[in-house]
Structure 1
Amino acid sequence: MVAPSSLPFDPVEEAARKWSARWDDADAMAVATSIMRVQQLLLGRIETALRPLNLTFARYEALVLLCFSRNGSLPMSKMGQRLMVHPTSITNIVDRLQAQEFIRREPHPTDRRTTLVAITDSGREVTERATQALVAVRFALDSLEPDQMKSLYDLLRDVRLHAGDFPEDHGIRTWPNAFTETDSP
């Protein structure tokens, strides 16, 4: 699905052309600008797929995180760390999910200073439906073939690694081989 554009040209290429006449490293500027634009496009399509379920991508990510947790609950602070968001943002996400009755807040059994966020049955159900909606649009990456997705993932992973987003793994991938069906985990 291609969104109609009001421009008869690629604005990133045009910016790169003008940039190179004035400053160095137009290639890096064009790549960074393209990544930012693609993020906007992906988020727009993802949010459109989630809108019928009254979810945003941020709330969906929080629900998935809780589904992946061992007991279906996590401390709010740990959720913020794992989702890489500010404490204020995780509070807002949790408030909205609680209002929708997709999660509940619970006291921690051994640390009274900690609040646990626990997913409810309706939260699990909406997470399944939301995941089906996102898989149906391939997380807005339906224009890419599996080998292109793997290449893009590897390139972006290198950027994240170099930025210190996670520790270097010395070539050992703990993430399963999602891009190839013939590889064993």
Structure 2
Amino acid sequence: MAKRLSVDPIAEAKRQWEDHGWSDAATGMTAVTSLMRAQQLALASVERALKPFSLSFARFEMLRLLAFTREGRLPLASAVRRLQVHPASVTNTVDRLRRDGLVEKEPHPEDGRAAVLVLTDAGRTTVEEATLALNAVFAELGMAHDDEVELVRILARYRRAAGDFADPGPTPRPL
């Protein structure tokens, strides 16, 4: 971890923004910069936890997604949608997981152009052990539980407003 600074550089950047006449954008700049720095800190903790398993967070997410399915199988296109990343990134992740024997790729049974990802036994063991290590990180983020809940709510509102997802529509009553 880097040496602790005596001044919050983001607070200093906000002061500079205001001093340069950009007060109308200073709070937004501070919010974005704070989000980006928090992401760096969180990712560093996650990477430390996953390092013993030779996994990146992207590779862990793919394994965990497959492990959440009933049979450890998922069409590649479904994985792309659920992980919200570019198809090329998913392909790269899958290629690395295949190389390490953690997933296999099989032809889709109904669509000859598509593929199905299959979690191997080694992949299941790895993701279960890695999940335990990550849960230790998630359980001790260093902030109060109520702050975590509020942070998630704030970020969900931000993500929704940015078009990341839509609230589910009302469920029709059964006939």
In 2, distance between residues paired with 1:97 and 1:167? 31
Trace 1:16-165 onto structure 2 (pairs within 5 A).
Answer: 16-22=14-20, 23=22, 24-138=24-138, 142-165=141-164
For 1:77 and 1:51, locate their aligned partners in 2 and report how far apart those are by CA, in whole Å.
28
Deviation sequence 1:64-114 (CA, Å, 0-9, x none): 111112331112122111111111100100000001111001111111111
SS in 1 for 2:59: helix
Separation in 1, partners of 2:51, 2:114: 32
Residues 1:132 and 1:171: Cα distance change in structure 2 (over 3 Å): farther
Q: Provide the secondary structure at the position in 1 that maps to 2:117.
A: strand
SS in 2 for 1:104: strand
Find the counterpart in structure 2 of residue 178 from structure 1.
none
- Once residues 3 and 80 of structure 2 are traced to their aligned partners in structure 1, the CA distance between those partners, rounded to angstroms, is 36
Secondary structure, counterpart of 1:25 in structure 2: helix
Distance 1:120 1:86 in 2: 24
SS in structure 1 opposite 2:39? helix
For structure 1, the residue ranges without an aligned partner over 5 or more in a row are 173-185
- 97-106 vs 3-12, which moves further: 3-12
The SS at the match of 2:127 is helix
Q: Distance in 1 between matches of 2:149 and 2:158?
A: 14
What's 1:166 paired with? 165
- Per mean C-alpha deviation after superposition, the further-off stretch among 96-105 and 71-80 is 71-80
Aligned pairs, how many? 169
**How much does 1:48 deviate?**
0.9
Deviations 1:152-183 (A, max 9, x none): 000000001111111124799xxxxxxxxxxx
The verdict on how the C-alpha distance between 1:116 and 1:171 changes in structure 2, with shifts beyond 3 A counting, is closer
| CA distance in structure 2 between the aligned counterparts of 1:7 and 1:170, rounded to whole angstroms | 47
User: Residue 11 of structure 2 is aligned with which of 10, 13, 23?
Assistant: 13
| Cα distance between partner residues in 2 of 1:8 and 1:170 | 49
Q: Percent identity?
A: 43
Q: Per residue, is there more helix in 1 or in 2?
A: 2
Stretch of structure 1 that moved more, 116-125 or 73-82: 73-82
SS in structure 2 of the partner of residue 82 of structure 1? helix
1:144 is aligned with what amino acid?
Answer: M
* TM-score normalized with structure 2 length: 0.90
Deviation digits for residues 34-88 of structure 1, max 9, x if unmatched?
0000001111110111001100000000001111123311121221111111111
